[in-house]
Amino acid sequence: MIAAQDMQHCREAIRTGSLSFHAASRLLPGRVRDPALALYAFCRLADDAVDDSDDKGPAVLNLRDRLDLVYQGRPRNTPADRAFAAVVADFDMPRALPEALLEGLAWDALGRRYDSFSDLMGYCARVASAVGAMMCVLMRVRDADALARACDLGLAMQLTNIARDVGEDARAGRLYLPLEWFAEQGIDPERFLARPEATPQVRTLTRRLLAAADGFYGRSEAGVPALPLACRPGIYAARHVYAGIGADVARGGYDSISRRAHTSRNQKLGWLALAVARSGVSLMRPRAVALYAAPPAEVAFLVQAAARKAAKASRSDALLEVFAQLEARDRADQRLERARA
């Protein structure tokens, strides 16, 4: 059970840190909304801690240690950690799911770039689909087909975020768009990072990213009727709010470099109303064939972990290797600092 004061801290963190998620969460039933806010607060604050750090490696390793303590049942004495530990205990949260998110943050810390769209999907699976799978766990849904569609929604939302932030990321030295796509358009990635411009070629890449997102939004909808009735409005709302961000990028001519897409309060209210209406209609429809589509290969490990309830699974070799790289880089940085002193 989440302590009242810890829950209030999580609500405030989401209200100020993620307006889109906060708006969608208002349509979830309290039994899901509160643990969802606690989950999202931990994930969001973890993401912010890495993003805001001048040295991202130690921030990720610190997060690894915090997660270890959570799963040992003795979280650090902070509201977000205590609340997330309560969620882990109450819902038997498979450890592989938050660790997938941790791996994605580690990739960010290493400045990883993605050669292919499949490589980018692997990143999106970790930083977004993992959250979708965890949301299913909070709804007490462990059906593999429903989990696969939740992962689809995570992919769609993260691809939308990347499309919205092409310019912001480039100015920060980050590049998520597949390098193969740059080559196909004749764009030098380093030159683009040095001087980001919304050229027709770059707009083509953004349009391509949003087209992929739209496909995953469509696939994800088949999973909503497989969720508890009271949870459906919140998930439909998240789908429409985030897709609305992509629609604004499209209205701006796929220029997410000189402008940043946004949605208004009235638009969000409209999507919340639409989500409620669609949830009622879903009662009268048979389950779509798309519900049973195989999950994308990049998210299959998340579906398997959540469906098995493998809460005590050991860390993967890939994740251990990422941690080893971060630790090695941190030691090298420390040696360099000592040499300069």
Rounded Cα–Cα distance for residues 157 and 176 (Å): 14
Print the domain residue range for 313.
93-340
Residue 70 Cα distances to 137, 144, 252, 256, angstroms? 17, 26, 43, 38
The answer to whether residue 76 sits within a structural domain is: no
pLDDT tops 90 at residue 244:
yes
User: How confident is the model over 51-61, as pLDDT tens digits?
Assistant: 666 677 888 88
User: How confident is the model over 253-303, as pLDDT tens digits?
Assistant: 999 999 999 888 888 888 888 888 888 766 555 566 678 889 999 999 999
Residue with the bigger pLDDT between 285 and 181: it is: 181
Does this model's pTM top 0.75? yes
Instruction: Check residue 287 and give its pLDDT.
Output: 60
For the chain, how far is it from start to end, CA to CA, in angstroms? 49
3-state class (DSSP) for residue 165: coil
The answer to whether residue 128 sits within a structural domain is: yes
Rounded Cα–Cα distance for residues 105 and 86 (Å): 23
Q: What mean pLDDT is predicted for residues 170-176?
A: 95
Confidence of residue 81 (pLDDT cuts 50, 70, 90): very high
Instruction: Check residue 17 and give its pLDDT.
Output: 56
Query: Any idea which of 25-34, 267-276, 312-321 has the lowest mean pLDDT?
Result: 312-321
Confidence of residue 87 (pLDDT cuts 50, 70, 90): very high
Q: What mean pLDDT is predicted for residues 223-250?
A: 92
3-state class (DSSP) for residue 296: coil
pLDDT tops 90 at residue 190:
yes
Give me the number of domains the chain comprises.
1
Instruction: Check residue 317 and give its pLDDT.
Output: 77
Query: Any idea which of 8-12, 229-233, 286-290, 302-306 has the lowest mean pLDDT?
Result: 286-290
Contacts of 204 (CB under 8 A, 6+ apart): 185, 254
How many CB atoms lie under 10 A from the CB of residue 131? 26
The answer to whether residue 14 sits within a structural domain is: no
Closest CA to 101 of 25, 145, 45: 45
Reported residue count of the chain is: 341
CATH number (domain holding residue 131): 1.10.600.10
Contacts of 259 (CB under 8 A, 6+ apart): 252
Instruction: Check residue 140 and give its pLDDT.
Output: 95
Instruction: Check residue 309 and give its pLDDT.
Output: 54
The answer to whether residue 148 sits within a structural domain is: yes
3-state class (DSSP) for residue 147: helix
The answer to whether residue 15 sits within a structural domain is: no
Query: Any idea which of 11-20, 82-91, 241-250, 281-290 has the lowest mean pLDDT?
Result: 281-290
The answer to whether residue 242 sits within a structural domain is: yes
DSSP 8-state secondary structure symbol assigned to residue 199: -
Residue 127 Cα distances to 133, 151, 159, 239, angstroms? 11, 11, 11, 17
The answer to whether residue 28 sits within a structural domain is: no
Instruction: Check residue 283 and give its pLDDT.
Output: 54
Instruction: Check residue 273 and give its pLDDT.
Output: 87
Confidence of residue 336 (pLDDT cuts 50, 70, 90): confident
Residue 132 Cα distances to 67, 74, 235, 248, 263, angstroms? 19, 25, 10, 23, 22
The answer to whether residue 196 sits within a structural domain is: yes
pLDDT tops 70 at residue 180:
yes
User: How confident is the model over 96-147, as pLDDT tens digits?
Assistant: 999 999 999 999 999 999 999 999 999 999 999 999 999 999 999 999 999 9
- Arithmetic mean of pLDDT over the chain: 88
Instruction: Check residue 189 and give its pLDDT.
Output: 97
What amino acid occupies position 42? F
Q: What mean pLDDT is predicted for residues 209-226?
A: 95
